[in-house]
Chains A and B, each alone.
Chain A
Amino acid sequence: DIQMTQSPSSLSASVGDRVTITCRASQGISNHLAWYQQKPGKVPKLLIYAASTLQSGVPSRFDGGGSGTDFTLTINSLQPEDVATYYCQKYNSAPWTFGQGTKVEIK
């Protein structure tokens, strides 16, 4: 099975900073990669699918990129409401697999 590895596992940044999270697949998955945001005590929310397509209603400061095995989620100008754990998920073929998560905090 394809493994998904996120880095870093956690980060702390200041309001207004640009933050980048990386997700690496153990094999190529084309652009079948999604990003989810899970705020503390809440249900996960889809942010990005097809590696770079923003889900409806998601702020434009979120940006996804990559293809094949290496992907990024960038938050341009980090806001206090972005405090959350972010997960990547591959969906090219079953089993669907999530990364281990990246916890984003405000410095």
Chain B
Amino acid sequence: QVQLVESGGGLVKPGGSLRLSCAASGFTFSDYYMSWIRQAPGKGLEWVSYISGSGYNIYYADSVKGRFTISRDNAKNSLYLQMNSLRAEDTAVYYCARESSTSRTIDYWGQGTLVTVSS
């Protein structure tokens, strides 16, 4: 069965950096686009970034462009999100998500990892 397990969240000061990881299993990881989606406490869903199976096609939301970097290691079945210059408004649960092979919708979600940016 498909499993996505995030790690790397925690408390960081404004301006700091954090690297999130997502370990994928139960499917051929390199065949799928993957996304990071976040949800601030008590708020709605915000898509952050996606990366194609090969890693060549990448897109970022304007809110994180230039600060966050998505990457993947298909040999390790892992997805990453390097987050730099963090701001208070980046505080959220970050979900690793798999995009469906038939439509660019999210068919599997991880349980999420909480990132808190605070001094």
Contact = CB atoms under 8 A, between A and B. Distances in A.
Interface in A49-107: 49-50, 55, 85, 87, 89, 91, 94-101
Contact of A96 (B50, B111, B112): B50
B106 A36 contact: yes
A50 B61 CA distance: 22
A50 B101 CA distance: 13
Which bucket holds chain B's interface residue count? 20 to 34
Contacts of B47: 89, 95-98
B112 to A, nearest CB: 7
B6 to A, nearest CB: 11
Interface in B53-68: 59, 61-62
B76 interface: no
B112 A43 contact: yes
Contact of A91 (B45, B95, B103): B103
A30 to B, nearest CB: 12
B103 A98 contact: no
